Amino acid sequence: MAKPNFIELPGCDPIPILFEDRSVLAIDKPRGWMLVPDSWRQTNWNLQTAIDSSIRADDFWARSRNLRYLRHVHRLDADTSGVMLFAKSEGAMRAMGEMFESRRMEKTYLAVVEGVPKEKAWICELPLGQDPKNFGRMRVDTSEDGKECETHFRALVSNERFTLIEASPLTGRTHQIRVHLAQSGCPIMCDELYGRVEKGFRLGLRAVRLAYKDTFTRRPVTILAPTAEFLKEFNFKLTPELQSEKWVRRPFVSKEKVAANVSSLKNQH
């Protein structure tokens, strides 16, 4: 049985599958989907709940893989798009979760900020903690309660208004990149918590790469998300040098092509 290279959920465009092996499945998470506990009833956009429901309904994308279990290994903020990793079994969940916790998972994001940063490259190690006065917001916390954080930043290219930044977090704290960039004097574009919102734009943050050594096969794995639409949204054009960066993925699969694949598979089944 042919397996579609997307997940189809009600009320949204097909979600591309970027990578899959016997242990994991990685998707290109769209903006808007949240990863929150089932008990949190304030949204219909709970990605894990929607996937669980689709598997229980024996939808074709899941049935073709004989999937009975698929759990997110890490989280992305609701408005952050890009590489999202899921485990296909409890054993894989434990193995991949430990990889994130032990910092053996390489993570790369692209962030868009207004203006030009003061430095070409820098490291932010400010500890973070929850803001007791603002639910859901993080803050720099230099007390004993603050959690260790480290993010590496590199300014890549600027246009008339924005700068594209590569962010590589070594730790995985909530809103880490967003707070660290705001504290560096260059908040992410359209960040409603740590910057400002501007009509016509969306949060300028995308997870573009995960890389690790497979726990079971010991082989290196690199998972890349397309960047073309994200760059176009903020009017960036990559130089030939940047086009060879390790987070650049080719070929780019358009939404139109994914939609055509959906239609074709529906007609077959």
Q: Which residues are catalytic?
A: 77
What is the rounded distance in angstroms from the CA atom of residue 96 to the CA atom of residue 73? 7
Could you give the C-alpha distances from 126 to 100, 172, 183, 189, 239, in angstroms and in order?
Answer: 20, 13, 9, 21, 32
Nearest to 108 by CA among 7, 209, 40, 17: 209
What is the rounded distance in angstroms from the CA atom of residue 73 to the CA atom of residue 93? 6
What is the rounded distance in angstroms from the CA atom of residue 242 to the CA atom of residue 254? 21
| CA pseudo-torsion sign 193, 233, 32, 204 | negative
In DSSP terms, which residues pair with 19 in a beta bridge? 26
CB 24 within 8 A of CB 88: yes
Amino acid at the residue 83: V
